[in-house]
Amino acid sequence: MRKLTEILAKIRRKWTKIRLRPIHVYCFHHVCAKFDAETMVACDWMQIDEFKKKIIAARQNGVEFISLTEAQEKMQRDIFRCKKYAVLTFDDGYASLKEILPWLEEQHIPAKLFINGIYVDGKSYRTNPKERYLTKDELWALTSPYIEIGSHGWQHTDAIEMSADEFEQSITQNNELLHTHPCYVPFHAYTWGKHTNVTDAYLQSHDITPVLMDGMPNYNNPAVIHRELLI
């Protein structure tokens, strides 16, 4: 009986992949012209011209870039999906985003920004006092229909290192700030992608979609969003 169950599950997974093209959700941090060794980590940086080439090449290959909200809606309703879809997300809300966001808007390409609320005061920083983040004024000035704002936690803290109360406070405090943004949509991207079943359950019980960083594509599970790097 167990063997039959495993065979049926394998058939079901194969049939899902046949009828549904996956939606790829990509994660970025800094996308700008120059790498600054004092404020950036090399693995978090992509040169802006390289980024543009990758996006243009993807479009030429038939990829349509959509918002994370639209992607989730497609995961909820699609029975068949033949078209190629992808989503662009940016973590941490670095000030360097000011270099790439205007180009994305010109290209009518949506972007999801995952924000740590504490850093928008222009004074707080994560590890280096020279780090620069979008300020609250800059962030609230982003009202383009191609922008969505989501949560990355109040501070850039690993969810599995926090107690349940600390995690709840981080989510509550961040969302109290961000929900006043006109482009806020309740998704939460875990820092470093680290999470537990308990943290996932807490988010889902508050109608916030967990966003992971596990390199997997998305088929039709709108309850959890998987992300990967564009390389």
Cβ neighbors of 46 (< 8 A, separation 6 or more) are 28, 30, 31
- Taking only the tens place, the pLDDT of each residue in 45-63 is 999 999 999 999 999 999 9
Alpha-carbon distance 79 to 70, whole Å? 15
CB 45 within 8 A of CB 30: yes
User: For the whole model, what pTM was predicted?
Assistant: 0.92
118, 122, 148, 170, 208 from 151: Cα distances, Å: 11, 18, 10, 10, 9
What 3-state DSSP class applies to 205?
helix
pLDDT at 215: 95
CB 125 within 8 A of CB 119: yes
Name the fold adopted by 23-211.
TIM Barrel (3.20.20)
What are the tokens at 130?
Answer: 């020279």
Per-residue pLDDT of the chain (231 residues; tens, 9 = 90+): 677 677 666 666 666 767 899 999 999 999 999 999 999 999 999 999 999 999 999 999 999 999 999 999 999 999 999 999 999 999 999 999 999 999 999 999 999 999 999 999 999 998 889 999 999 999 999 999 999 999 999 999 999 999 999 999 999 999 999 999 999 999 999 999 999 999 999 999 999 999 999 999 999 999 999 999 987
Alpha-carbon distance 168 to 160, whole Å? 12
